[in-house]
Amino acid sequence: MNRQEKEQYLREYSLLKNQGKSFFPYAVIKDSFMAVLVMAVIIFMALLLGAELGPKADPTTTDFVPRPEWYFFFLFELLRVVKPPELVVMATVGIPTICMVLLILLPFIDRNPERNPLKRPIATLAGITTIGAMAYLTLLGALAGTPTVIELETKPQFEAGRDVAAQSGCLACHQIGENGNSGPGPNLTDIAERLPRQAIERTLLNPTSPMPSYQALKDEQPEKFDDLVGYLGSLRETE
Amino acid sequence: MKMLPPALRPRPKKPGIKPAKNGNGSGNGAAVDENGKKSKPPLKERAKPVVDGAAEAGVGTIGWVDERSGLTPFLRGFMYRKVPKGINWFQTLGAATMFAFAAQAVTGVFLAMYYDPNPTEAYESAARITNELFLGEFVRGMHRWGASVMIVLIFLHMGRTFFYGAYKYPRELNWIIGVVLLILTMVMGLTGYLLPFDQRSFWATEVAVALTGSGPMIGPYLGDFLRGGAEFGPATLTRFYALHMLLVPGLIAALIGAHLYLVVKLGITAPPWLKAEKRRELSEEEI
């Protein structure tokens, strides 16, 4: 905005302001009504939904599928949408950071003096698209189940390991056969073709973030850990 | 000038001396003169106004504070400032967000009375709040769902600001403060999620911190800062507790103050499709 546009806006605004009403009580009464409404909604939700408390935090368990609060679903889903491993950092840190910077810089990016949403179609469209994308990702996150069953056929000696894998939350981030989510972790259906058994074990014990370490499982229940490694080491497409 | 009770009017500095008119515009020559006269007579007669003063102790206190702070003109300017015509319900979302924050602060204080940020006790104290305390689960529920309500409101408020073009001149700085407030509110959600210390909160936070740590450059340092070390340990919980209880809410409160100051200074946005009426039309309408 150049100086003339600025002055024009200030003039117009001061006219509108002079034609307005006093903050008290005309705006205060609306704000107070909203305050009562907000309070009513919070109380209603607290009574209806309560505050559940799950089992105590236990760093040694591996069968818990991490799930954020619903308002982080859109960030969480971003991880799943972005599949190539080299781009995961982009999804986890890059996109949120870029979005934050863009939001902060918005007044300097959009320098169009027009304010009416109908007369600045690009900004309005961008806003609607952003809201739509966030709503879509949140919905995907809400609908993404936490599967605990692997239907992929396996040899009898690996069935114990398959059950461990199914209950260990692998499916939250990995796909095995038809089950599980397709990200952020790689598809495990044919992992044994790409990684030898020792490498799988090393990854389980010392994974790259955000995957949790299975060191605790090895310490607490070594036979279950061995079953898990055995099962993952048997996963080949050709079987 | 009947706006102020006698207690709110400026008082003479010394008995019998006429004070100059005070800057707050409420100076009422007659009343001051009356006060001045009253302080002249001997003690016996002066006793009566003192009793009267005790009868209006509340007003007297306001007057005492006002005399020392000059708060009344400020408050009058704040409450009786004009808001542009045409403001609508969408423009109550900011106040609603602030109210949700206030509700979070109040329920949070009550939760803090019974919560123990020690990793061995955190879950037990959360369970005690939920299961044993009178109204414990209700207050925890209010805090938990109040967070969701606040997030929804702050996003709606931001959406309204965006579509009204209210981030444009002269309100750019207030938009930036608002974005920082949004980020801090999300940080509140993240840090508060760990505190009940159940499986849900533990694993979600583990992943969230690992994600933070995977970022380039400052990522690993930020991850270590949040965890209180290289590993998720006892220090993590107390660190999240301090962030959630002291640092972030303090920043939010301060920034809300700055946000409001700018709103009052620059004025509430008028809906962008409205044009000011010309003088003539206004006078017709008033008739």
**Per residue in A48-99, pLDDT tens?**
999 989 888 887 776 666 778 899 988 888 877 776 667 777 777 888 889 9
Residues B160 and B106 in one domain: yes
* Whether B65 and B167 share a structural domain: no
Same domain, B69 and B127: no
Do B204 and B241 belong to one domain?
A: yes
How far, CA to CA in Å, does A82 sit from each of A29, A78, A173, B103, B203?
47, 6, 12, 38, 22
Residues B154 and B249 in one domain: yes
Query: In terms of domains, do B34 and B120 share one?
Result: no
User: What residues of B are in contact with residue A43 (Cβ under 8 Å)?
Assistant: 142
Of B41, B61, B79, which residue constitutes the final position of a domain?
B79
**CB-hemisphere CA count at 13 Å for A120?**
20
Within this chain, do residues B100 and B51 fall inside the same structural domain, yes or no? no
Secondary structure, 3-state, chain B: CCCCCHHHCCCCCCCCCCCCCCCCCCCCHHHHHHHHHHCCCCHHHHHHHHHHHHHCHHHHHHHHHHHHHCHHHHHHHHHCCEECCCCCHHHHHHHHHHHHHHHHHHHHHHHHHHCCCCCCCHHHHHHHHHHCCCCHHHHHHHHHHHHHHHHHHHHHHHHHHHHCCCCCCCCHHHHHHHHHHHHHHHHHHHHHHHCCCEHHHHHHHHHHHHHHHCCCCCHHHHHHHHHCCCCCCHHHHHHHHHHHHHHHHHHHHHHHHHHHHHHHHHCCCCCCCCCCCCHHHHHHHHC
Shortest Cα distance, chain B CAs vs residue A8, angstroms: 11
Residues in chain A: 239
Please say whether the structural domain A156-233 has been given the CATH code 3.30.450.270.
no
B144 and B239 housed in the same domain = yes
Say if residue B224 is in the same domain as residue B137: yes
pLDDT in tens, chain B (287 residues): 445 555 556 555 555 444 444 444 444 444 444 444 445 455 555 555 555 555 556 678 888 898 899 888 889 999 999 999 889 999 999 999 999 999 999 999 999 999 999 989 999 999 999 999 999 999 999 999 999 999 999 999 999 999 999 999 999 999 999 999 999 999 999 999 999 999 889 888 888 888 888 788 888 899 899 988 888 888 999 999 999 999 999 999 999 999 999 999 999 999 999 888 765 555 555 54
Phi and psi at residue B119, to the nearest 5°? -55, -30
Residue A167's alpha-carbon distances to A53, A149, A151, B190, in angstroms, are 21, 8, 13, 26
Closest alpha carbon to A168 in A66, A88, A71: A66
Q: Determine whether the interchain pair B214/A72 forms a contact, defined as Cβ–Cβ distance below 8 Å.
A: no
Q: Which of A115, A122, A173 best probes binding to B when mutated, by most B CB atoms within 10 angstroms?
A: A115
List CB contacts (< 8 A) between B177 and chain A: none
Choose among A23, A45, A61: nearest Cβ to B145: A45
B45 and B145 fall within a common domain: no
Is B261 found in the same domain as B189?
A: yes
pLDDT at A94: 82
The domain tally of chain B equals 2
* Cβ atoms B173, B262 nearer than 8 A: yes
Asked whether residue B122 is assigned to any structural domain, the reply reads yes
Q: Give domain limits for chain A.
A: 21-51, 63-144, 156-233
Tell me, yes or no, if the pTM score tops 0.95. Answer: no
CA distance A174 to chain B (A): 15
CATH class of A63-144: mainly alpha
Q: Which of B60, B79, B98 is the last residue of a domain?
A: B79
Helix (H) or strand (E) holding A175: strand A175-176
Residue B245 lies in a domain: yes
Chain B residues in contact with A100 (beta carbon < 8 A): 179, 183
Residue B40, domain extent: 6-79
- CATH number of the domain to which B154 belongs: 1.20.810.10
pLDDT digit string, tens, across residues A123-160: 999 999 999 999 999 998 888 765 567 778 788 888 88
Angle at B152 between CA B148 and CA B155, to 5 degrees: 140
Q: Which of B27, B50, B79 is the last residue of a domain?
A: B79
> Does ipTM exceed 0.85?
no
Long-range contacts (CB closer than 8 Å, 24 or more residues apart) made by A183-189:
A183/A79, A183/A80, A183/A81, A183/A82, A183/A83, A184/A79, A184/A80, A184/A82, A184/A83, A184/A88, A184/A91, A184/A92, A184/A210, A185/A211, A186/A85, A188/A232, A188/A235, A189/A152, A189/A235, A189/A237
Same-domain check for residues B131 and B20:
no
CB contact under 8 A, B144 and A21: no
Lowest mean pLDDT across A25-29, A215-219, B184-188? A215-219
Asked if residue B84 belongs to a domain, the reply is: no
